[in-house]
Structure 1
Amino acid sequence: MAEDKKGGNVNVEKEPSTFSKMESFVNKNQKILTWVLIGITAVILIIFLYNRFVSNPKNEEAAASMYMAEQYYLIDSFNLALNGDGLDLGFLDIIDQYGSTPTGKLANYYIGMIYLRQGNYEDAITHLKKYNGKDNIIATMALGSIGDAYLELDNNELAIKYYNKAIKNSDNNFTTPMYLHRCAMTYEMMDNYKEAIRLYKEIQEKYPRSIEARDIDKYIARAETALKNK
């Protein structure tokens, strides 16, 4: 009870607590919440069953089917690797039949690398861009190889863009100095000697044990001389 200004008593009801409101909401909507919970559980179960009985077995089947194509790739039998030998599938068959699996995505990487070696640069770019697997090194190599393809197409700006993507995608002693070096050489081709020198020195300082670091002094000296004479 509370007293008003005239001396009378006034009933004041307390606001329901948050817990009370929640309890009331649950009671009123119990059936709906139950069905929502059942729906979420069903979705989780469907995803689990799909991965267990459809996706994973299909990927295992794809990996087994791609074995011979990988062997042909390793010995540079690129036409057989791409198209198969009449008995075993080639990479192009793999992406048709298993394109949504991790193995199918890896097949796109192989196809892109083959096209790059064959000088089919546009198709190489198309397939390398389709690789989105979880292997960080392969993903980095795919980005760097896209840069190589653009370089062959005389698109230096896009080559540098993808070399930088490869550099940022993974920091290691193999791919990072390799793509730093290619990026620096591309800058040299564009007469941007300052950027070239910066990248060469980054190799020298951060990756001194890499293959690219062995002759890095020569590249730095060449770029510095070109900058002075510019």
Structure 2
Amino acid sequence: MLKPEANINAKPEPTKSIGQTGSFVRDNQKSLLFIGVAILALVIGYIAYQKLYLAPREVEATNQMYVAQQDWQQKNWDKALKGSAGYPGFEQIISKYSNTKAANLAYFYSGVAYLNKGEYSKAITNLTSYRGDDIMIAAEALGSTGDAYVQKKEYDKAETYFKKAADKAQNRFLTPLYLKKLGLVYEAENNAKDALDAYKKIKSDYPESTEAQNIDTYIGRAEAKQ
């Protein structure tokens, strides 16, 4: 039996994908509406959190911290950390006003205070918790962390942080300072070659810095050790 010829003029049946989007929206209208409302609620909640909760706390924390900052500048480390004159110290600022810029800055102040008190592990914990955008403070936090590791005689870690500090600072005041400290760490590790490179960089790139004034002495010492 002959099979009937295919009708070449027959129009193809529409695929199932046509109209599926519209059908999906109709079938899931309630779910999509719920998702949209949920997203809007999250946005409004975030804005409210920033404006109505975080911003007032930021102002309050800043106002509460100025006495501790004064104590810190006067090198009254214990008062700066624990508080004085009825005002909180940096430790309380960190615990009470977490997630504020003031608390973040308090990590730096606390780290330097602990470093000067000889509590090096606490200094490292606080300094590495600082997450500020200020380049100078960020560089000092890294450099002070390196100082703490030097005191702990963990020279490999000190080396890492002095490198980061020098790279972060990128200025004629702090960069040569941390390059010199890096060179001293290399010498402590009996790495005269890298120490020499660090000292020569100070002489060539930062000739007007304080560190450059007697850097030839360090260069000569490193050359003699090779």
Structure 1, gaps ≥5 residues long = none
Match of residue 207 from structure 1: 206
1:97 aligns with 2:96: yes
1:195 maps to 194
How far is the alpha carbon of 1:121 from its aligned partner? Answer: 1.0
Change (3 A) 1:45 1:163: same
Deviation at 1:84, TM superposition (A): 1.7
Q: How far off is 1:109 after superposition?
A: 1.3
Identity of matched residues, %: 37
Match of 1:222 in 2: 221
Shift of 1:224: 1.1
* Number of residue equivalences: 223
CA distance in 1, matches of 2:34, 2:27: 14
Instruction: Determine the structure 2 residue equivalent to 1:176.
Output: 175
Q: Is structure 2 residue 13 aligned with structure 1 residue 13?
A: yes
Q: How do 1:101-120 residues align onto structure 2 when only pairs under 5 Å count? A: 101-120=100-119
Q: How well do the aligned residues superpose, as a CA RMSD in angstroms? A: 2.3
- SS state of the match for residue 126, structure 2? helix
TM-score, normalised to structure 2, is 0.88
Task: Give the Å deviation of 1:41.
Answer: 1.6
Deviations 1:124-144 (A, max 9, x none): 112112222232321221111
Q: Residue 187 of structure 1 aligns to which amino acid in structure 2?
A: Y
The structural deviation recorded for 1:155 is 0.9
- Specify whether residues 90 and 31 from structure 1 end up closer, same or farther in structure 2 by C-alpha distance, changes over 3 A only: same
1:23 deviation in Å? Answer: 4.2
Cα distance in 2 between the residues matched to 1:103 and 1:202: 36
Shift of 1:69: 0.7
Q: CA deviation at 1:86?
A: 4.3
Q: Secondary structure at the match of 2:57?
A: helix
User: Cα offset for 1:90?
Assistant: 1.5
Measured in 1, the distance between the counterparts of 2:43 and 2:92 equals 32
Task: Determine the C-alpha separation between the residues in 2 that align with 1:73 and 1:67.
Answer: 10
